[in-house]
Amino acid sequence: MAAEKVLRMNPADHEISYANNSFYQKEVLMKVRPIVEEAITYMLKKIGVPTCMKVVDMGCASGPNTFQAISHVIDTVHGLCEQQGLKLPEFEVLLNDLPENDFNSVFKSIPDFYKQNGDLVQERSFIGGVAGSFYHRLFPSTSLHFVHSSNGLHWLSKLPVRLENNKGNICMARSSPPNIFKAYANQFWEDFTNFLSSRSKEIVRQGCMLLTFMVRRNPNPSHEHHCLELLAKSLLDLVAQGIVKEADVDSFNLPIYPPCKEEVVDIVEKEGSFEIKQLQVFEMDIDPLSRDEKVRNKEFYMKMGNNIANTFGAGLEPILCGHFGDAILDELFRKFASHEADDPNRSMHQIVNLVVSLIKK
Amino acid sequence: MAAEKVLRMNPADHEISYANNSFYQKEVLMKVRPIVEEAITYMLKKIGVPTCMKVVDMGCASGPNTFQAISHVIDTVHGLCEQQGLKLPEFEVLLNDLPENDFNSVFKSIPDFYKQNGDLVQERSFIGGVAGSFYHRLFPSTSLHFVHSSNGLHWLSKLPVRLENNKGNICMARSSPPNIFKAYANQFWEDFTNFLSSRSKEIVRQGCMLLTFMVRRNPNPSHEHHCLELLAKSLLDLVAQGIVKEADVDSFNLPIYPPCKEEVVDIVEKEGSFEIKQLQVFEMDIDPLSRDEKVRNKEFYMKMGNNIANTFGAGLEPILCGHFGDAILDELFRKFASHEADDPNRSMHQIVNLVVSLIKK
C-alpha cells in the first residue's frame, strides 16, 4: 500500500487520538520558539514585511499543535511590527498533511483558534488546508515566506527497498544488519533532497524554513538505543504467546528514519538551495507530563509507560493496524507501556531532536 | 444552532451522499460552461495571464462537481494560452465550504483529479481547501483572479427573524404571509451584500466572478410554485399520521431564498464593487437523468420522484435531521418522492437558475 494511505495520525475522534496525545510534540514546539523568533526576525529584516505573509505548516496532523505553531508565528510578526512601527501584514496560512489526515477536525478547530487569538488575528489571517506529501511540490512557485515543520521529516515517503533480513526488528535497530542502515539512509537521502528541492521552488528568496524532527545521537546507528526497540520487543512477546505470527513481524518495518546531524548538514549542502542559519540537537522526554513528578515509584513509571505508549499509539496505530489487524493493538500497547515502565535506561524515554533554521539562497 | 453547524451536504460515505446525488448540479455546471469561458477570455484580455492564477470554488461541497468546475477553468485558460502562444500560468485552486463540510472526502479525490487531468495539470496546479462561510472574508486582499460559486448562494447565512407565522410551510411559499417574504428578502439582501463586499476586497481589479444559484421566476413570490412545497406537504402528511408534531413543522424553516433576477441586479448595483457582464435565467430539470426517457408511465414518474427526493435529500437531510431527528427521514423522503411522481405540474420538477458573470471594478 502506498505510504500516503497508511501514514497518518489517529483521527481526532479516535480513543487514542493524536489531538489528545501530543504533549510531547507540544513540548518540542515550546523548546524551539526562540529559534522561530530569530528566524522570522532575520527574514523580515532581509525582505521587509510583505503585504501578505504566506506561512505553511507541513505535517500539521489533526491536533491543536499546528494552531499553537501558527499563532506563535503570527504573534512574533505582530510583535516585530509593533516594535518597529510597521504595518501588520495579512497572513495566508496553509496547513499541510497527507490526504488521509483528519482535516475535517483541523477545520472545525479554526473558529476556536480565532476566538483565542482575538479580532486582529481573525481579520488578518486566512487559514486553509493543503493535502499531499511534502516530498512533492504542493504550492505555487516563489509564493511562501515561512515554512514550518515539526515532527514530520523522520517519516519517509515509503519503505526502503530490500529490508527482508531485518528480522525481529521493526525499523533500523542496533541489531539490524548493515544493509538495513544503508537502505534507510538512502531513502532518507532521496526524500530529504526532494523535500528541499520542492520547497526551494516554492519559497521566496531569503524566505525561511524551520524544521524539527527526530534524529539519532550517533553517526553509527548500531550504537543507538531507540525506544521503538521496545515496541519490537512487545511484538515479539505476542509472537511468543502465539498471538502474532513471527513471519508477520519479520515482514513489518516502519518508514521511520532518524538521521544523524551530519547527514542532515550534508544533504542540505549538496542540494544547495538553502543556507543553514542555525542547527541544534536536543533531547526531550517522550512523556513531559510526568517529568516533574517527585515520587518515582512503580506507579509513576507505569503512568509514564502508559503516556509514552499513547504518544506512540496515536501515530503508529494506523500503520500497525494495517499490517497486524486491530485485534492485537490493546495488548501490544499494554506490553509496550509495561516495557517502558520497566526499562532503567533513561535514554529509552527520550527522543533526540534536531532543529534546523534554513534560509532560501 | 448556528447555520454553520447545520448547513452542509451529506458526507461522501452517507447512503444518500451529495457525491452520488448531484447530477442536477453537474447539469447546471455544463449549462454555464460557455459563460465561464467568455468571462475568463474577457478577464485575461484585460489583465493578461498572471504567473499564478488564483481560482476559488465557493460552496464546493464534497462531491465530484467542484473538480469538474475547476478542470474546466484550467482547460479554458490552457486553451487560450495555447491559442495565443502565451506561457501557461500556475494555478492555485482553493475549494471553500463551511467547516462542517466533508473536506476529507474532497482531499481524497485530489489524486484522481490529477490522474484524469494529466501531468501538465498536476505539475502546474496546487489545490487546497478553505473552511468558512463565504458571507465573511476568507482570503487575503487583492489575491483572487477567478471566483466560482455554483448552487450555493440561495442558502442564507442564517434563518431570517420573525418567521413564527409561517405555519404549514418550511420556507417562503405561495401561502406564506407577506411579512415572511419581507423577512427572507431582507436576509438575502444582507447576505448577498456581505458576499459581494467580502469578495470585492479579495478579487484583483478586473478579476472575475461567476455565480449560479436558484432564483424564482416571478418578482411576486406568492405567484411561485416551488418543489419544496411538496416537501412541506410530505411533512404535513407525517403530522396527519401522528409521526411528527404539528408544532415542530410550524417552527421549522429552511434558510433558503430564491430571489428574483431584479433583486440580484439591484443588490449588485447598490453594493457597487462589481459590473455585471452577463446575466441569464434558465430552467433545469431537477432529475436530468430521466429527462430523455421515452416512456412516461407510472414507473418513469416514480423513478423521477425518487431521483428528485435523493437530490434534495443529500442537501437537506442534515438540517431536517437536526430538527426532526433521523427516524422520520426515510418515510419523509418516500412521501416526497411519491408527491413529486404524482404532480402533473412540470414546473414542480424544475429549478430556475440565475447565472451572473461579474467583473471587479
Q: What is the pLDDT of residue A1?
A: 43
Instruction: Return the pLDDT at A37.
Output: 97
Instruction: Answer whether A52 sits within 8 Å of B107, measured CB to CB.
Output: no
Residue pair A278/A209 in contact (Cβ under 8 Å)? The answer is no
pLDDT score of A70 = 94
Give A92's contacts in chain B (Cβ within 8 Å): 139-140, 143
In this structure, whether the domain defined by B3-222+254-286+347-360 belongs to CATH 3.40.50.150 is answered with yes
Q: How far apart are CA B134 and CA B59, in angstroms?
A: 8
Q: Tell me whether residues A107 and B103 touch, CB distance under 8 A.
A: yes
pLDDT of residue B5: 55
Partner residue opposite A103 with nearest CB, options B51, B92, B107: B107
Q: Do A141 and B99 touch (CB under 8 A)?
A: no
Residue A6 has pLDDT above 60, yes or no: no
Distance to chain A for B229, nearest Cα, Å: 33
Distance (Å, rounded) from C-alpha A298 to C-alpha A285? 18
Q: From chain A, pick out residues whose CB is under 8 angstroms from the CB of B138.
A: 126
- Check residue A68 and give its pLDDT: 92
Residues making up chain B, counted from first to last: 361
Please answer yes or no on whether B103 and A103 come within 8 Å at the CB atom. Answer: yes
Cβ distance A90 to B132 less than 8 Å, yes or no, reads no
Interface test with A, best of B9, B107, B144 (most A CBs within 10 A): B107
Paired strand residues for A215? A352
The answer, yes or no, to whether residue A66 has pLDDT greater than 80, is yes
Q: Give the one of B52, B104, B130 whose C-beta lies nearest to A102's C-beta.
A: B104
Contacting residues of A for B100, CB less than 8 Å apart: 108
The nearest CA of chain A is from the CA of B56 a distance in Å of 12
Hey, are the CB atoms on A51 and B141 less than 8 Å from each other?
yes
Q: How many CB pairs (< 8 A) connect A and B?
A: 83
Looking at the partner chain, which of B51, B127, B131 has a beta carbon nearest the beta carbon of A107? B131
Q: How far is A106 from chain B (nearest CA, A)?
A: 9
Interface test with A, best of B58, B130, B142 (most A CBs within 10 A): B130
Subunit contact B141:A100, Cβ cutoff 8 A: no
Say yes or no for a CB contact (<8 Å) between A140 and B92.
yes
Sort B269 into a burial class: Cβ within 10 Å, 0-12 / 13-18 / 19+: exposed
Predicted pLDDT of residue A348: 74
With beta carbons less than 8 A apart as the criterion, state whether A162 and A245 touch. no
Hey, is B209 helix, strand or coil? strand
Going by DSSP bridges, is the β-strand pair B274-285/B350-360 parallel, antiparallel, or unpaired? antiparallel
- Model pLDDT for residues A275-293, shown as the tens digit of each residue: 999 999 999 888 776 666 6
Task: Mark yes or no for CB contact A129/B129 under 8 Å.
Answer: yes
Catalogue the long-range contacts made by A238-243 (C-beta closer than 8 Å, 24 or more residues apart): A238/A328, A238/A331, A238/A332, A238/A335, A243/A328, A243/A331
pLDDT at residue B1 in the model: 43
CB contact under 8 A, A51 and B139: no
Taking residues A10-35, report their average pLDDT: 79
Across A224-233, A260-269, B35-44, B184-193, least confident range: A224-233
Query: Measured between alpha carbons, how far is A263 from A259 in angstroms, rounded to an integer?
Result: 6
In chain A, the residue whose alpha carbon lies closest to the alpha carbon of B131 is A107
The per-residue pLDDT for B6 is 57
pLDDT at A153: 97
Which among B94, B132, B143 is the nearest to A52, CB-wise?
Answer: B143
Closest CA of chain B from A162, distance in Å: 28
Residue of A nearest to B123 (CA): A137
Candidates A316, A217, A287; CA nearest to A258 is: A217
Partners of B91 on chain A (C-beta within 8 Å) are 140
- B14 chain-A contacts, CB cut-off 8 A: none
Residue B107: list chain A partners with CB under 8 A. 99, 103, 129, 131
Question: Chain A residues with CB-CB distance to B under 8 A?
Answer: 4, 51-52, 90-92, 94, 99-100, 102-104, 107-108, 110-111, 123, 126-132, 137-141, 143
This model of the complex carries an ipTM of 0.89
Distance CA B183, CA B159 (A): 9
What's the gap in Å between the CA of B339 and the closest CA on chain A? Answer: 36
Domain residues of chain A, as ranges? 3-222+254-286+347-360
User: Which H or E element spans position B111?
Assistant: helix B110-124
Are B107 and A127 an interchain contact pair (Cβ–Cβ within 8 Å)?
A: no
**Whole-angstrom distance, CA of residue A170 vs CA of residue A233:** 9
Using the beta-carbon criterion (under 8 Å), do B128 and A103 form an inter-chain contact?
no
All cell numbers assigned to B11:
458526507
Check CB contact under 8 Å for A127 and B123.
Answer: no
Q: Do B99 and A92 touch (CB under 8 A)?
A: no
For residue A106, give the chain B residue with the closest CA.
B99
CA–CA gap between residue A308 and residue A195 (Å, rounded): 29
Confidence of residue A50 (pLDDT cuts 50, 70, 90): very high
Contact A103 B104 (CB under 8 A): yes
Between chains, do A128 and B100 touch, taking CB under 8 Å as contact?
no
Answer whether A126 sits within 8 Å of B137, measured CB to CB. yes
- Those residues whose C-beta lies under 8 Å from the C-beta of residue B107, and which sit 6 or more positions away, are A99, A103, A129, A131, B129
Low-confidence ranges of chain B (pLDDT < 50): 1
Q: Taking CB atoms and an 8 Å limit, are A123 and B138 in contact across chains?
A: no
pTM, rounded to two decimals:
0.91
Mutate to test the interface with B, among A107, A123, A203 (most CBs of B within 10 A): A107
What phi, psi does B97 have (nearest 5°)?
-160, 180
| Closest chain B residue to the Cα of A114, Cα to Cα | B132
B94 neighbourhood in chain A, CB within 8 Å: 128
Q: Give the 3-state secondary structure of residue A1.
A: coil
What beta strand segments (E) does B90-202 contain? 90-97, 125-131, 144-150
Q: What is the average pLDDT score of chain A? A: 90
Residue of B nearest to A56 (CA): B128
pLDDT of residue A67: 93
The residues pairing with A58 across neighbouring beta strands, listed in sequence order, are A96, A149
- DSSP type of residue B256: B
Give the residue from chain A lying closest to B109, CA to CA.
A99
